[in-house]
Structure 1
Amino acid sequence: MTELARSELDEAALIDPEAADPGLKHFPLARTCPFSPPPEYREFEQDRAQLVGIPSGERAWALARHEDVRAMLNDSRFSSDRFNPGFPMLFNDGGRGRTPKIKPSLINLDPPVHGQARRSVVGEFTVKRMKALQPRIQEIVDTQLDAMLAGDRPADLVTALSLPVPSLVICEQLGVPYADHEFFQTHSSNFLDRQATVDQREAATVEMRDYLSGLVAAKEATPTDDLLGRQIEKLRAEGTYDHDELVGLAFLLLIAGHETTANMISLGTVALLENPDQLELIKQDPGKTLDAVEELLRYFTIAEFATSRVATEDVDIAGVTIRAGQGVLGLSHAANFDPETFAEPDRLDFTRGARHHVAFGYGVHQCLGQNLARLELRIVFDTLFRRIPTLRLAVPFEQLPFKHESSIFGLHCLPVAW
């Protein structure tokens, strides 16, 4: 097909869905193997940009090559505003529009507002502050493993370790009572479930908002020595404090702070058990664990569609012109398996040096909590396999229940024995 013919077909598809190529892919696509991107992504190695269908019935562009995804994420002409009508949402809102139930915060903001908001809180996630947190994270991991070792076998690693560790850490950091963890874990799961109804998603969002609004209000009356309390005092002193904005930030950090790391702990454990040669590398030399963490982040890319955007003006990229108002899916999982960037991408290789992956995004919206996630994962994997060197799966790998329906890939449960 000539470039002109392809361009005409692409433009027609955006206007009239019936004009689309009968081979049009409809997103999100399922992983047929937990250790690989959807097989359809292989086609993107030849066709750098494709029009795809999304649940709203609209069309969006999908970019899959590492260089194209990074270029898009580093281009200010692509917006992160999820309330822009052209933003490619991967769930159907039932035609109810995009009125936010939570005030936009960080992930939805564009420069210069985004930069101002990020600078206000970035000091909470510096390498220096993470180093100060290390002893407490180690204590949490050891306490959870003590309880698991004293309990029944087999154990569910998700409920015994994967969820409690990051949940406790982010609760303490934010100043959220961990006693309420079942409430926010349940509601965040419903919020992230692409199969949930519109009513279920809205209910989860509203109840989480109301819970966090009450928590923030209590801290306004008596500021506490935690992230939320410090933000209240800092922003009040600057004259920029906004209750709803802090609720939005708390919503984002609470969900992102436990869901992503929890799923990476579970998936990383499975990958280590299924690749004993790689596990042996970090058992013999814990200094290699950070390299292992980077490779595991690349390998799973669990929050792939956090790199979706909408064009605010016409942009030439990946051999096509993306028009203002068109949505773009930056397929970070495909980018992290781009053979031109990562040789033999299907192979788990802790020696490859994979720090240039885009599992944490790229550009101004690169994950705020990435230093914390790396620290938690390193401590968990080192401690888990040091204290339980005979850890093994308690069910066949094929029986593991993976979260194919969630916006953040992971495991519902992980039965293990030793």
Structure 2
Amino acid sequence: MTTHEESVLDWPMPRSCPMLPPDRYAQLRSVPPQQVRLDDGTLAWIVSRYQDVREAMMNPALSVDNTLPGFPQRLPIPPVPRAQSFMRMDPPEHTRLRRMVMPELNKAAAKSYWPMVQDLVDGLLDTLSGQPHPVDLLPTFAFPIPALTIARILGVPDEDADVFQKQTMALTTCDPGSDAGAEAFGSLMAYLDDLVRSKEAEPADDMISRLVRRYVATGELVHEDLVAMVFLVLVAGFETTANQITLSVLMLLRQPQHAQAMLRGPEELDRTIDELLRYWSIPQDNQVRVAARDTELGGVPVRAGEGVVFAIPAANHDECVFPDAARFDPGRDARSHLAFGHGAHYCPGAPLAKMELQIALPALFRRFPGLRLAGDFADLSFRHDTVVYGLDALPVTW
């Protein structure tokens, strides 16, 4: 990879406004893919235009295998083969394993989970209504919803959900390759290993048990791969959804007219959620690949072994696709956003995440019509240095 070192931008990039992507992304969209310097000093290509990102996500020359040389390590998870299941696999193995779990996460499955999630949300709101306020919505609402939802789907006891919250947060807030991240990864994998073994010994009526009966018992899936699959479902569906709920509430508190419009019906709700997903684009720094062979991105040659970064917030704020992109506008059609990815690696848990948002957001604003920030917006602490964008706390009152 050749470059003029003095002109290379550092990545991740700082935000001048916590409500918007980094300013530099607008500049990057005006030129072909450029090289950036990662926080470990290595170089990678950054793809920021919507169409370029969309095409790159479908480029078979770009690999998600984090054990390959040159892969940009952004998550604080050791690059252990198969440790992250099909998230870090290429076809055909990715296709084989993904097909096993999709019936548990598709639209039909999400619809079947609706009553369970509704009861969970109602219970959290009942508890909130009896607490003195102000309260922090992160530990009392935003985090428990995905944590308990996934725990119940997998067959994890409710009393262990707190373990998931703490260890998953530790995993996603640590520096890549740090000792703390490796420790959190090891602890969580050990717990899940024991959980899967218990389901293999005594299957019940839950996702893990169904996978045991369908695939482990037939020899199509080995124990270790099932543990990795469960780990992927848990981690991918907890931290992202929790932060999306939190930032969505913040946006609707700052623009209450849209909160009221969201409550008018399912069409308004769905448009609001798609726009919230586009606007925030919370997978800010975790969509990365490595070129498994020579290829081309946006007209620029990329050599085998060179890392590639997908700037999802930049793509979702591309004015060529979303005019006046910096404005939160639930009236626009934002269904083509890339917050869940695109192509073979489109997020398998997208229907579940959207369902949780469809339940949580209107329920919160109906229960507390006077909901408002407790304190000044300027005092909020945003999580700029993590691979998933979010807040450290969201204090509210009513």
Same fold (TM over 0.5): yes
CA distance in 2 between partners of 1:99 and 1:309 (Å): 13
- 2:34 pairs with 31, 44, 50, which one? 50
Tell me by how many angstroms 1:126 deviates. Answer: 2.1
Q: Which amino acid aligns with 2:228?
A: G
Work out whether 1:87 is the aligned partner of 2:87: no
2:57 is the alignment partner of 1:73? yes
Q: Which residue of the other structure, out of 159, 168, 182, is the alignment partner of 2:139? A: 159
User: Equivalences for 1:89-238 in 2 at 5 Å?
Assistant: 89-90=73-74, 99-100=79-80, 103-195=83-175, 198-238=178-218
For 1:312-327, list aligned pairs within 5 A: 312-327=292-307
Alignment partner for residue 254 of structure 2, among 274, 294, 300?
274
CA contact (8 A) 2:174 2:180 kept: no
Q: Give the equivalent residue in structure 2 for 1:255.
A: 235
> Aligned equivalents of 2:320 and 2:267: distance in 1?
28
Contact kept? 2:282, 2:388, Cα under 8 Å: yes
Which secondary structure does the structure 1 equivalent of 2:7 belong to? coil
Distance in 2 separating the partners of 1:383 and 1:333: 28
Deviations 1:14-55 (A, max 9, x none): xxxxx51x1311111132322211111111121120100012
The one-letter code sitting in structure 1 at the alignment partner of 2:46 is A
Between 120-129 and 98-107, the greater mean CA deviation after superposition:
98-107
Give 3-state SS (helix, strand or coil) of 1:339's partner: coil
Question: Contact conserved, 2:11 with 2:37, CA < 8 A, in 1?
Answer: yes
Classify the secondary structure of the residue corresponding to 2:381: coil
| Cα distance change on mapping 1:156 and 1:105 into 2, 3 Å | same
Query: For residue 379 of structure 2, what is the aligned residue in structure 1?
Result: 399
Cα distance change on mapping 1:188 and 1:102 into 2, 3 Å: farther
How many matched pairs? 398
Distance in 1 separating the partners of 2:295 and 2:177: 35
Contact 2:76 2:171 in 1 (8 A): no
- Structure 2 distance, partners of 1:338, 1:197, is 32
CA distance in structure 1 between the aligned counterparts of 2:340 and 2:198, rounded to whole angstroms: 33
Answering whether residue 323 of structure 2 is matched by residue 343 of structure 1, we say: yes
1:12 aligned partner: 2
Task: Supply the distance in 1 between the matched residues of 2:349 and 2:187 (Cα, whole angstroms).
Answer: 24
1:399 CA drift (Å): 0.8
- SS of 1:238's equivalent in the other structure is coil
- Give the superposition deviation at 1:407: 1.3
Q: Report Cα offsets for 1:214-262 as digits up to 9, x if no partner.
A: 1111111111211111111111343222111111111111112211111
**What CA distance in whole angstroms lies between the structure 2 residues aligned with 1:409 and 1:246?**
29
Letter of the 1:65 counterpart = R
Alpha-carbon distance between aligned partners in 2 of 1:127 and 1:182, rounded to the nearest angstrom: 27
Q: Aligned partners of 1:363, 1:375: CA distance in 2, in Å? A: 21
Moved more, 63-72 or 230-239: 230-239
Partner secondary structure for residue 10 of structure 2: coil
The structural deviation recorded for 1:213 is: 0.6
1:103 Cα offset (Å): 2.3
SS at match of 1:60: strand
User: Percent identity among equivalent residues?
Assistant: 36
Structure 1 residues 267 and 216, CA gap change in structure 2 (3 angstroms): same
How far apart are the structure 2 equivalents of 1:88 and 1:99? 11
Kept after mapping to 1: 8 A contact 2:319/2:325: yes
SS at match of 2:14: coil
Q: Look up the equivalent residue of 2:353 and give its one-letter code.
A: A
Moved more, 29-38 or 190-199: 190-199
Answer whether contact 2:286 2:388 (CA < 8 A) is retained: no
Residues 236 and 251 from structure 1, CA distance in 2 versus in 1: closer, same or farther, beyond 3 angstroms? closer
* Structure-1 separation of matches of 2:103 and 2:24: 41
Please state whether the residue corresponding to 2:44 is helix, strand or coil: strand
Work out the CA distance in 2 between the residues paired with 1:138 and 1:186. 24
Cα RMSD, aligned residues only? 1.7
* Cα contact 1:167–1:178 (8 A) shared by 2: no
- Hey, what's the Cα distance between the residues in 1 that align with 2:105 and 2:75? 31
Query: For residue 149 of structure 1, what is the amino acid of its counterpart?
Result: S
Query: Is 1:291 matched with 2:271?
Result: yes
> Which segments of 5 or more consecutive residues in structure 1 lack a partner in the other structure?
1-10, 14-18
Distance in 2, matches of 1:155 and 1:99, equals 39
CA deviation after TM superposition for structure 1 residue 136, in Å: 1.4
Return the letter of the residue paired with 1:336. N
What is the CA-CA distance between 1:280 and the residue it aligns to?
2.5
Runs of at least 5 residues in structure 2 that lack an aligned partner in the other structure: none
